[in-house]
Amino acid sequence: MEHIASPSHNDNKYLVASGGSQMIQEKPSPELENKSRKAGDKLSEILHIIVNEPSLAVFRIQEHVRKTLPQLVDVKHDMEDVQQDVQGACFDMEYAAKAVQNMEKSETHFRSIQDLLKNSMFIRQQLQYEQSRKDQERNRPSMYRTMLRTQTIDLSTQSATSARNVLSHANTVDEDTPQVRSSMSSHSWMGPASLLR
């Protein structure tokens, strides 16, 4: 095989002889070679990125999950605690509402308690009034007591005068007579208490 290059009128073209056949080719310019090289490099880079893009995406997802997962777990625990608190508050509200409804049903009992309290307060006022009246009566002497006291004094004076009269009469009469003895014996033990009877 022989390759014969013959120059032509154009420098960019040359003749190639191979086995009796001739082919004319253009000689590539340096600018075209540079552009084609850049295009090839860019194409290979794009192909490399396309091939490695899934693994890179998975790696980025892994990094994102590794950074954000602990925070998400903490937030989840906080949300569970808040949910429990909210459920407890809801249960308390339900119990309070039921208690209020039951209190509305027990209105008659509260009314009876109110009536009993009013009666007890009235009875207490009556007792206080009676106690104060008794204290006033104790501090102030009554007419009945003064009358009893004067009657007792009068009876005691009468008994004393009668006893003196009997004694004077006994001095005049013989003391050995039974009438005088009986009168003296009957008047000797008499006192204010016996006269009051």
Please tell me the predicted confidence (pLDDT) of residue 32: 86
Listed residue (43, 13, 36) closest to 25, CA to CA: 13
Q: What is the pTM of this model?
A: 0.30
**Mean pLDDT value across the chain:** 73
Name which residue leads in pLDDT, 78 or 7.
Answer: 78
List, for residues 172-186, the tens digit of each pLDDT value: 554 445 444 444 444
Q: Is residue 11 over pLDDT 50? A: no
- DSSP one-letter string for 121-145: HHHHHHHHHHHHHHHHHHHS--HHH
Q: What is the pLDDT of residues 46-105, one digit of tens each?
A: 888 777 777 777 888 888 889 998 999 999 999 999 999 999 999 999 999 998 888 888
Q: How far does CA 188 lie from the centroid of its chain?
A: 87
Q: Which one, of 46, 45, 65, 68, lies nearest residue 57 by Cα?
A: 65
Q: What pLDDT, on a 0 to 100 scale, did the predictor assign at position 158? A: 63
Reduced to 3 states, what is the DSSP secondary structure of residue 182? Answer: helix
DSSP string, 62-94: HHHHHHHHHHHHHHHHHHHHHHHHHHHHHHHHH
Tokens of 173: 């009469």
| Helix, strand, coil tally for the chain in percent (to 5) | 80, 5, 15
2-11, 18-27, 80-89, 101-110: least confidently modelled range: 2-11
CA atoms within 13 A on the CB side of 183: 17
Q: Higher confidence at residue 93 or residue 153? A: 93
- pLDDT of 6 above 50: no
Is 154's pLDDT higher than 80? no
Alpha carbon separation from 148 to 124, 143, 152, 158 (Å, rounded): 34, 9, 6, 15
Dihedrals φ, ψ of 127, to 5°? -65, -40
Is residue 35 very low, low, confident or very high in pLDDT (cuts 50, 70, 90)? confident
Look at residue 94 in the predicted model and tell me its pLDDT.
93
194: confidence class by pLDDT, cuts 50, 70, 90: very low
Residue-level length of the chain: 197
